[in-house]
Structure 1
Amino acid sequence: MIKAIIIDDETAMQEVNSQLLSEYFPSIKLVGTANCIKSGIDLIQKENPDLVLLDIELTDGSGFQLLQKLPSYDFKVVFITAFDSYAIKAIKFSAIDYILKPVNEIEFKEAIQRALDLIESKEHTESQFNILMNSFKKELQNKKLVLRTQNSMHIVDISEIHFCKSDNSYTTFYFKDGEKILVSKSLKDYESLLKEYGFFRPHQSYLVNLNHIKKVDKTDHGFIIMKNKKEIPISTRQKKNLIDLLDRL
């Protein structure tokens, strides 16, 4: 019996994939589901699955980051994702299967069958995953963001953004060289865009790059000290989330 697990932060998607597995692949036994990196790793270590259906965008990071946190693994992976050009590009470079949301039954069956064929042939896919991770890391390192102001179009390296500050429907970007760029988009627009690149929203008015945090004050009215010595407030609601996130880095 082939053991499978599903890691997806959407309960509805867990149910859809579970149903499709049961309907088309009776030889596969679903032994558990998880909805984030931490619970996913715990489930993998507990069940030692043969197949993992892994969502790319999880509540506490990405499916790629989950794989990076594992010391080693020999299960086969089928990624599940909404359309995300850079993630799919990384997957395509490595020739690893993926399923697009919303799930198409034919594509689902084809992807799972290819994974089963690899499991049954005991074919090693270590080199594929090395290519996947190298491509993923390269995309993150070189990722650019276009910021449009009234008079200019700025092309910036995401890694050089220290933090963003909200001012109603405007957002100011602060960089490590002291430069500031004001754009006429809300912070919420950039939160969803930058979450995948190590950014966290500790306060309704701020979005910070975790790679540029120097210190976190955990007292009642705590705050973040950035490497450029700027102080960023932390809301009471987000303080524990930030500490937990930093503990997992």
Structure 2
Amino acid sequence: MIRTVLIDDEIDSIRVLERLLERYCPEVTIVGKADGVEMGVHTIQSAKPDLVFLDIEMAQGNAFDLLNQLQPIDFQVIFVTAFDNYAIRAFKYSAVDYLLKPVDIDDLQAALQRAMREVQGKNFIDQMETLLYNVETFQLTQQKMAVPTLTGLVFIPIKDIMRFEAKGSYTTIYLTNGEQIIATRNIKEYEDLLPAAIFCRVHNSHIINLHKIQKYHKGRGGYVVMEDGNTIEVASRRREEFLRRLLK
């Protein structure tokens, strides 16, 4: 039997899932239910389940708030959501199962069979680490950054930034559409400000978007070819950190 906890802030959703599991998935034993993040953390800690069915968006927070409080994750998760949003892309990249509401019986049984194999193989620990990293990255790419210029503020989607280049006390920001914006901040300020999951300073004069690299060529430090065709040198002293971040 697979010990299972159900977490959803909609009581009706818990009841529907509970009935489906009892009727179509006899290998499941429900050992706990919760209606939010705080209660969910407590229930998981006390019930020690093999598997958790976890709603993504809840009134008190979301599934990732809950999982971040339980690191390292020692149980398998099947996410349940009514929204086909950025999180779904993160699930696909991380090979993690999810179900869309209303839950389809065939999808439920198939997800459960995959989860049971993962529980036996203990592969879910790496999967959850990858998922949480991917979710953070996807969330960051949806944000905009306020860029101070000589004429005011420009708001740029982070996902549209190709790279940054130091120009004295200013910084030129290169966008994916070919546009260039001169910011009145120096490059060190951007190094401190930018999300490390996406951007890496590879040279005194350059910060690049790791998602926009086309090629990396080895050498003394090496260099990268960006998607816009520009070549950026990787300084020797920054090579180790760059490769660690690139291959993460």
Name the TM tier (shorter chain).
0.5 to 0.7
Deviations 1:15-52 (A, max 9, x none): 11101111122221101110111000000011000010
CA, structure 1 residues 135+16, in 2 after alignment: closer, same or farther (shift >3 Å)? same
SS in 1 for 2:49: coil
What corresponds to 2:45 in structure 1?
45
The C-alpha deviation readout for 1:167-224, integer Å capped at 9, x for no partner, is xxxxxxxxxxxxxxxxxxxxxxxxxxxxxxxxxxxxxxxxxxxxxxxxxxxxxxxxxx
What is aligned with 2:94? 94
State how far apart, in whole Å, the 2-side matches of 1:155 and 1:96 are: 34
State the shift of 1:55 in Å. 0.4
Stretches of structure 2 that go unaligned for 5 or more consecutive residues are 145-153, 159-248
User: Which position in structure 1 is the counterpart of 2:130?
Assistant: 131
Aligned length: 150
Please give the alpha-carbon distance, in whole angstroms, between the structure 2 residues aligned to 1:21 and 1:69.
Answer: 27
SS at match of 1:26: coil
Q: Which amino acid aligns with 1:34?
A: A
The offset of 1:123, in angstroms, is 3.1
In the TM superposition, what is the alpha-carbon distance from 1:157 to its structure 2 partner? 5.7
Residue in 2 aligned with 1:25? 25
Contact residue 86 and residue 139 of structure 2 kept, 8 A? no
Which protein has the larger Cα radius of gyration, Structure 1 or Structure 2? 2
RMSD across aligned positions (CA): 2.0
Aligned 8 A contact 1:144 1:155 in 2: no
State TM-score, norm by structure 2: 0.57
Partners of 2:127 and 2:72 in 1: CA distance? 14
Indicate yes or no: 2:5 matched with 1:8: no
Residues in 2 aligned to 1:77 and 1:83: alpha-carbon distance in whole angstroms:
17
Residues 6 and 53 in structure 1, CA contact (< 8 A), matched pair in contact too: yes
SS in 2 for 1:18: helix
CA–CA distance in 2 between the matches of 1:33 and 1:157?
39
* C-alpha distance in 2 between matches for 1:54 and 1:104: 16
Report the residue type matching 2:129 in the other structure.
N
* Same amino acid, percent of matched pairs: 39
Check conservation: 1:20, 1:105, Cα contact below 8 A.
yes
Q: Map residues 26-175 of structure 1 onto 2, 5 A cutoff.
A: 26-119=26-119, 121-144=120-143
Counterpart-to-counterpart distance in 1, 2:71 and 2:126:
16
CA contact (8 A) 1:78 1:111 kept: yes
Deviates more, 1:121-130 or 1:78-87: 121-130
Write out the 4+ residue segments of structure 1 that deviate beyond 3 Å after TM superposition.
154-158
Shift of residue 155 of structure 1?
Answer: 5.3
Deviation, structure 1 residue 71: 3.2
- 3-state secondary structure, aligned to 2:140: helix
